[in-house]
């Protein structure tokens, strides 16, 4: 189940607010410019579906999303505990960073924590299957799917170079063990 927890950046053990209500999550995240929606999709995929099959199955949704956001490309990221680069990818995503374009993700399967650091608050959005999240350009954030990641997500890009992070050097993500 999706969940939003909001913390004071200086008190990582004591959330100020917690909800699992998708509408409330969308409203609270909207206050910081983050788009959050729950999408009900009739798409059914095999567990071992290829990236091409996933993109094809979600094409109508992607076309609409990319048309609305001006994005130009989409890809699939799929991480499992047995992925040979799982630990390295987790470490890279865990460092607080920002992007020069919105970071848009749709969770096809599994879950992960998108964590935004905005004006002294830390917003932990646990995203699960069917969740769409769009983090605005230049928003400080990190992502964690835990030490045994298990998720498949569509990634949507405006910049044709794909996922390009600008790391902040702030160690705040190490203070928040959200998995």
**pLDDT, tens digit, for every residue of 126-158?**
999 999 999 999 999 999 999 999 999 998 877
Are 20 and 3 contacting, i.e. CB atoms less than 8 angstroms apart?
A: yes
* Predicted confidence (pLDDT) at residue 97 exceeds the cutoff of 90: yes
**Strands 97-98 vs 73-79: parallel, antiparallel or unpaired:** unpaired
Q: Mind listing the domains of the chain with CATH numbers?
A: 3-41+71-175 (2.60.120.10)
pLDDT of residue 65: 79
Q: Sorting pLDDT into bands at 50, 70 and 90, what band is 119?
A: very high
Q: Is 172 helix (H, G, I), strand (E, B) or coil?
A: helix
Q: Which of the 8 DSSP states describes residue 160?
A: T
Rounded distance, CA 22 to CA 45, Å? 24
Q: Which residues contact 101 (CB under 8 A, 6 or more apart)?
A: 137, 157, 158, 159
State the average pLDDT over residues 68-89.
84
pLDDT at position 163 is: 67
What rounded mean pLDDT belongs to the chain?
90
Burial environment of residue 31 by CB neighbours within 10 A (0 to 12, 13 to 18, 19 or more): exposed
Average of pLDDT values for 10-29? 97
- Confidence (pTM): 0.91
């Amino acid at each position: 189940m999706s969940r939003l927890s909001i913390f004071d950046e200086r008190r990582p053990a004591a959330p100020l607010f917690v909800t699992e209500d998708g509408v409330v999550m969308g409203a609270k995240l909207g206050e910081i410019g983050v788009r959050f929606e729950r999408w009900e999709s009739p798409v059914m995929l095999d567990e071992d579906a290829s990236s091409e099959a996933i993109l094809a199955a979600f094409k109508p949704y992607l076309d609409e999303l990319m048309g609305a956001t001006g994005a130009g490309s989409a890809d699939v990221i799929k991480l499992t505990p047995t992925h040979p680069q799982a630990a390295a990818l987790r470490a890279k995503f865990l460092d607080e960073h920002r992007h020069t374009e919105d970071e848009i993700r749709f969770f096809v399967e599994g879950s992960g924590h998108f964590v935004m650091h905005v004006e002294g608050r830390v917003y932990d959005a646990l995203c699960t299957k069917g969740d769409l999240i769009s983090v605005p350009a230049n928003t400080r954030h990190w992502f964690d799917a835990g030490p045994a990641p298990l998720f498949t997500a569509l990634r949507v890009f405006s910049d044709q170079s794909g996922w390009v992070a600008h790391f902040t050097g702030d160690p705040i993500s190490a203070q928040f063990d959200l998995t």
